[in-house]
């Protein structure tokens, strides 16, 4: 007698990890055997498609970080499909808010130090050279370490 998939209601035969091929593939791809293949529409967040969300935050002038609500890379920086290519969100938003970078080597720097948390607040972003950006990152890390030592 062949065992069936462990997912409730699935009559297919068990193949890997007690699941059928379909559910085990979904688990490998998404970490959840019940995730269904995306419909092809752009991802939504709070009822807004990515481009609408970006346009909604551009006029934001508050001091709080705005976390990218879509995909992120392994370092926590936001990712989005822009003009058919996957791009880093903070660089895209910096270009929309402050114009194109002065040179292709300029980086989108975060004054808040929270780029790794997905911050895309246009007021926290600016174009900087690699050296300027690394100095600022070092200063943010030093300030965090000083706060930890004082606690």
Q: Looking at the structure, do residues 63 and 126 belong to the same domain, yes or no? A: yes
The domain tally of the chain equals: 2
Q: Looking at the structure, do residues 54 and 26 belong to the same domain, yes or no? A: no
Q: Looking at the structure, do residues 66 and 18 belong to the same domain, yes or no? A: no
Check residue 2 and give its pLDDT. 74
Q: Quick check: 88 and 111 in contact, CB under 8 A?
A: no
- Structure tokens given for 12: 């297919």
The CA–CA distances, whole Å, from 57 to 28, 50, 54, 97, 150 equal 34, 11, 5, 10, 35
Q: Looking at the structure, do residues 92 and 111 belong to the same domain, yes or no? A: yes
- The boundaries of the domain holding residue 111 are 46-150
CATH number at residue 124: 3.90.75
Q: Looking at the structure, do residues 116 and 55 belong to the same domain, yes or no? A: yes
Residue with tokens 């969100």: 89
Q: Looking at the structure, do residues 75 and 129 belong to the same domain, yes or no? A: yes
Q: Looking at the structure, do residues 1 and 63 belong to the same domain, yes or no? A: no
Query: Which residue, among 108, 101, 99, 112, has the nearest Cα to 139 in the 3D structure?
Result: 112
Check residue 104 and give its pLDDT. 93
Check residue 66 and give its pLDDT. 94
Q: Looking at the structure, do residues 19 and 50 belong to the same domain, yes or no? A: no
Check residue 17 and give its pLDDT. 77
Q: Count the alpha carbons within 13 Å of 100 in the hemisphere toward its beta carbon.
A: 4
Q: Looking at the structure, do residues 50 and 121 belong to the same domain, yes or no? A: yes
pLDDT of the chain, 151 residues: tens digit per residue:
678 888 888 899 988 778 888 888 777 666 677 776 554 555 544 455 678 888 889 999 999 999 998 888 888 898 887 777 888 999 999 999 999 999 999 999 999 999 999 999 999 999 999 999 999 988 888 777 777 777 7
Beta bridge partners of 48: 45
Q: Looking at the structure, do residues 14 and 65 belong to the same domain, yes or no? A: no
Tell whether 41 is covered by a domain.
no
SS3 letters across 31-76: CCCCCCCCCCCCCEECCEEHHHHHHHHCCCCCCCCCECCCCECCCC
């Amino acid at each position: 007698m062949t065992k069936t998939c462990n997912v409730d209601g699935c009559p297919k035969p068990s193949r890997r990890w007690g699941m059928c091929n379909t559910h085990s593939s979904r688990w490998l791809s998404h970490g959840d055997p019940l995730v269904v293949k995306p419909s092809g529409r752009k991802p939504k967040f709070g009822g807004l498609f990515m481009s609408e969300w970006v346009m909604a935050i551009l006029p934001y002038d508050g001091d709080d970080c705005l976390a990218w609500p879509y995909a992120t890379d392994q370092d926590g920086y936001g990712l989005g499909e822009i003009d058919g290519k996957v791009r880093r969100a903070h660089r895209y938003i910096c270009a929309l808010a402050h114009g194109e970078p002065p040179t292709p080597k300029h980086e989108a720097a975060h004054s808040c130090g929270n780029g790794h948390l997905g911050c895309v607040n246009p007021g926290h972003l600016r174009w900087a050279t690699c050296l300027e950006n690394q100095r600022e990152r070092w200063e943010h890390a030093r300030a965090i370490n000083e706060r930890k030592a004082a606690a």
